Chains A and B, each alone.
Chain A
């Protein structure tokens, strides 16, 4: 039982990290960035490349090296997100929603198959694995590395929350999310704020990618597809556009999946997750913490 809870929370923290980027981008330009999951995949591969270039990593140094790689990767995927927005999305901001969504699908496609062309279709084995000691916590088997990853995820999320709620930058972001035109009139550089939002969201996805690589040990070019869907589900559960809600949604989805898998069997895990998504969208489309939209019949 507590094992299921722990597994759920662990996977959920990945979902939450990726979902945050989804949610932030949606909050600010109302776009479902289909390519977001692929930035997570890109992060995993960037980490893979950097670690490969660094040569062998001794087990003792694994953690510090991994953290360094994490920061580097976040920079790279963050920039990738910025470029994506600049090249593909910016010019379509006033265009019909459908055009923007199709563009996002195109971007996702290009990233996935671009990576396949570059790195091959076969899964790659991550060059570093954190071999941790196993601890018993409340009857659940927890490895040290899992704890570390969750800690990193939590630190990143707290940092993001502080940034959005406390800083000038964050205030500008919230202003743009609320009303881009009014924000522009107040002297906020809307383009720059949107760029930074993409940077932050994509950086978080990249971090999650590296962590997933180190945890699961294997990465491939399609790894972002499912997690993109899961992240969207998490964002919807929590309330898309709402940062604490999205974190909660990620953890909740992790837990639901963990229990769902236990009851139904692993092969039904993804079906179960989408079932939850559809249920939420039908019953409470604004999510647990999302604000109610004006009631239109």
Chain B
């Protein structure tokens, strides 16, 4: 749960402060070096501390369940942010990967009697395949076609899960084993996994591949001209997003010990998107905050059940009109090293 800068140990800052050519003429931001790192680091650590301390405030089964779900939702948002935020590809069926992960682990663990951890390799393989199968035909398309095709794929996965026997049909799968004993330890495990996933997404976002994603988002032609194979790069975003979604699906299956098609509707895809857009596309800190807001707000607004999704829809429009960069946007300004 740290920001893009937070993943770097202090050693990096010093090692990269080595003199580089032309140092004298660089537009400098000495003010920013320390303060920005601190800001990122503290933001991330503070978020993690809140997540770790929350059970000491309220450890009722209900509160733990809500918090666990929120953490899983953060992981989903971090995954979708790779696709939408970094790479600029609108995926409206992202929940399909969540479903693939949840069902794969659920089916394997209940049918073969495997512990959930043992299904992870299979989950990885299946989600990567799902990412490739969905991405291969669609990523060549114009971006807006991509959006609607992914929406269709989301539906296909859900309808397929409803129709097949192996997935338990409309009622789904029950009795999926947990990953730990008891909800408290599961909560901590989830927070740990999600924190690693968020840091991982942030690190990827800053790497060569992550830059290539953003080149594609900013200008595909210019990216190609620089030697970026845009199709492969988009595919990579898609597959990495799929893995994040699939692993979140395993956590989900372990959390509820049951999966059914009703959990993987377009509504869910739209909510994850809402989290990413609200927090700030491409900004990992923003997306984490956005996900926490989107997953916890309905719990606080139970009385307004009917109107909260209306509000989400209106909010999407308002954010795009008024503040398209989101609540806590990614800064194009980078830390001077």
Instruction: Please state if A229 and B151 are interface contacts (CB–CB under 8 Å).
Output: yes
Pick from A31, A107, A267: contact of B313, CB under 8 Å: A107
Instruction: Please state if A110 and B148 are interface contacts (CB–CB under 8 Å).
Output: no
Instruction: Please state if B313 and A102 are interface contacts (CB–CB under 8 Å).
Output: no
Residues of A within 8 A of B141 (CB): 281, 285
Binds B, one of A68-76, A174-182, A208-216, A268-276: A268-276
> In the bound complex, how far is the Cα of B144 from the Cα of A32, in angstroms?
7
User: Per-residue 0/1 for B134-149: is the Cβ within 8 Å of any A Cβ (1 yes, 0 no)?
Assistant: 0001101111110111
Check if B152 is an interface residue, CB within 8 A of chain A.
yes
Residues of B within 8 A of A274 (CB): 149, 152-153, 155-156
- In A212-256, which residues have CB < 8 Å from any B CB? 225-226, 229, 232-233, 236
Instruction: Please state if B163 and A268 are interface contacts (CB–CB under 8 Å).
Output: yes
Check if B315 is an interface residue, CB within 8 A of chain A.
yes
Instruction: Please state if A278 and B138 are interface contacts (CB–CB under 8 Å).
Output: yes
User: Per-residue 0/1 for B243-276: is the Cβ within 8 Å of any A Cβ (1 yes, 0 no)?
Assistant: 0000000000000000000000010001001000
> In the bound complex, how far is the Cα of B79 from the Cα of A211, in angstroms?
42
Instruction: Please state if B152 and A229 are interface contacts (CB–CB under 8 Å).
Output: yes
Check if A196 is an interface residue, CB within 8 A of chain B.
no
B162 nearest in chain A by CB position: A267
Instruction: Please state if B309 and A113 are interface contacts (CB–CB under 8 Å).
Output: yes
> In the bound complex, how far is the Cα of B157 from the Cα of A270, in angstroms?
11
**Given contacts A106-B314, A106-B316, A107-B317, A271 and B145 within 8 Å (CB-CB):** no
**Given contacts A32-B147, A97-B144, A117-B306, A110 and B313 within 8 Å (CB-CB):** yes
Check if A88 is an interface residue, CB within 8 A of chain B.
yes
Instruction: Please state if A92 and B320 are interface contacts (CB–CB under 8 Å).
Output: yes
Residues of A within 8 A of B155 (CB): 226, 229, 270, 274
B324 nearest in chain A by CB position: A99
Instruction: Please state if A102 and B277 are interface contacts (CB–CB under 8 Å).
Output: yes
**Given contacts A98-B90, A98-B143, A113-B313, A105 and B149 within 8 Å (CB-CB):** no
Q: Chain A CB within 10 Å — which of B153, B266, B320 has the most?
A: B320
Instruction: Please state if B145 and A103 are interface contacts (CB–CB under 8 Å).
Output: no
Residues of B within 8 A of A267 (CB): 159, 162-163
Interface size in chain B (residues, C-beta < 8 A): 42
Residues of B within 8 A of A114 (CB): 310, 313
Check if A294 is an interface residue, CB within 8 A of chain B.
no
Check if A129 is an interface residue, CB within 8 A of chain B.
no
> In the bound complex, how far is the Cα of B321 from the Cα of A236, in angstroms?
29
Interface SS of chain B: helix
- In A122-165, which residues have CB < 8 Å from any B CB? none
- Nearest CB on B from A271, distance (A): 5
Check if B42 is an interface residue, CB within 8 A of chain A.
no
Check if A101 is an interface residue, CB within 8 A of chain B.
yes
**Given contacts A98-B88, A103-B316, A113 and B310 within 8 Å (CB-CB):** yes
> In the bound complex, how far is the Cα of B139 from the Cα of A117, in angstroms?
37
Instruction: Please state if A105 and B148 are interface contacts (CB–CB under 8 Å).
Output: no
**Given contacts A274-B156, A285-B141, A101 and B90 within 8 Å (CB-CB):** yes
- Nearest CB on B from A252, distance (A): 17
> In the bound complex, how far is the Cα of B316 from the Cα of A100, in angstroms?
11
**Given contacts A113-B313, A229-B152, A282-B137, A95 and B324 within 8 Å (CB-CB):** yes
Instruction: Please state if A103 and B317 are interface contacts (CB–CB under 8 Å).
Output: yes
**Given contacts A110-B310, A285-B141, A277 and B152 within 8 Å (CB-CB):** yes
Instruction: Please state if A278 and B317 are interface contacts (CB–CB under 8 Å).
Output: no
Q: Chain B CB within 10 Å — which of A30, A96, A275 has the most?
A: A96
> In the bound complex, how far is the Cα of B89 from the Cα of A96, in angstroms?
12
Check if A109 is an interface residue, CB within 8 A of chain B.
yes
User: Per-residue 0/1 for A1-33: is the Cβ within 8 Å of any B Cβ (1 yes, 0 no)?
Assistant: 000000000000000000000000000001110
User: Per-residue 0/1 for A29-52: is the Cβ within 8 Å of any B Cβ (1 yes, 0 no)?
Assistant: 011101000000000000000000
**Given contacts A271-B160, A278-B152, A106 and B313 within 8 Å (CB-CB):** yes
Residues of A within 8 A of B317 (CB): 87-88, 103, 106-107, 110
Residues of A within 8 A of B151 (CB): 229
**Considering the complex of A and B, which 5 residue pairs feature the smallest CB-CB distances, nearest first?**
A106-B316, A110-B313, A109-B313, A113-B309, A117-B306
Q: Apart from A88-B317, A113-B306, A281-B141, what 16 extra A-B contacts exist at CB < 8 Å? A: A30-B144, A32-B147, A87-B317, A91-B321, A96-B88, A99-B324, A109-B313, A109-B316, A113-B310, A113-B312, A116-B309, A229-B148, A229-B151, A274-B149, A274-B152, A274-B153
